[in-house]
Amino acid sequence: MTWRGTRPSVTALAFSTRHLPTRQRIEPLLDGSFDAEYAGGALLAERASTGTSGSIGVRAGVSSGRLTSLAPPCIVCLALWVPPSPTTRQLAAVQVTGRRVFTPTSSVRIEPSFTVDASAGRTYDTAWRRSQVQGRVAITNWGGTGLEVTGMAGTISASAPTYEHFALGGAESPYVDPLLLSGRWAAPGQAFGALTGTNALRARVALTGPFAPFVQLDRAGSGDLSQQRRLVGLEALIVSPSIPVARFPGLRATSGIAMPLDGPRAKRPMFYTTIVLTP
């Protein structure tokens, strides 16, 4: 539920999810630390300022929820991070985004943007802090065809529970606001948790247009240990805002084909489609 009669707008939300990556068909995770039921609520505030040459926005929120580990018994007996009973997950988070538009010529549009996330919380009775930054530059013509370069980097406290570690791969959850799970970096061409760790990096270069070929490099790990995955593919994205007067929901649909160049599924293409409707 969102109230837009004030600035900033205020959103109250509740959610309940059940996630079992150890049972996913492609590359099931052997580590059951991400298998959990997560239910809770959040209060978010959002303020955006948009002009002809760019925009800046701020989102902030607090959340409290119940986290119940669903790790397989053989892992529970060996892993000290699994609590004997449901525990709480509490956090506070803020996200700042900015975008600027330059038009050096009548046919070229340059759009740099950035996103900075910071969050802190307590999970399994352990406190943690996470920070990450994303930079993006898009150079396009007025028809929307051009080049897009994106870079991301993030880190979290070394003592953070495994559930809070960065997990790269899979689709973005449509059930939990991304601000509450900022450590989940979507990559539909990879299985969820293809890479995990307390540090993560991503570099992506893509052409823009109706069909966008891309090259992506992901790297994640903890301490001095890290792994990387390279991904090439072709993607199509359709975004349509909601139209309240016509009662038409917002639509975000992504379809594509991607081929990992590393890992157990190297050089085996994967087709994917995700559709998210937002009332």
pLDDT digits (tens, 9 = 90+) for 74-109: 555 555 455 556 788 999 999 999 999 998 887 899
Q: Are strands 225-240 and 166-168 parallel, antiparallel or unpaired?
A: unpaired
Task: Answer yes or no: are the C-beta atoms of 134 and 118 closer than 8 Å.
Answer: no
Determine which helix (DSSP H) or strand (DSSP E) holds 73, and give its type and residue range.
helix 73-76
Beta strands in 52-178 (DSSP E): 54-69, 87-100, 102-105, 108-123, 126-140, 146-156, 166-168
What are 122's strand-pairing partners?
90, 127
How far apart CA 235 and CA 232 sit, in angstroms, is 10
> For 158-206, how does the pLDDT look when each residue is reduced to its tens digit (9 = 90+)?
999 999 999 999 888 878 999 999 999 998 888 999 999 999 999 999 9
Taking only the tens place, the pLDDT of each residue in 15-56 is 999 999 999 988 888 878 899 999 999 999 999 998 888 999
* Cα distance between residue 172 and residue 91, in whole Å: 19
The pLDDT confidence band at residue 240, using thresholds 50, 70 and 90, is: confident
CATH of residue 167: 2.40.160.50
Provide the domain count of the chain: 1
Tell me which residue range forms the domain holding 114.
2-278
pTM beyond 0.85: yes
Closest CA to 264 of 164, 169, 171: 169
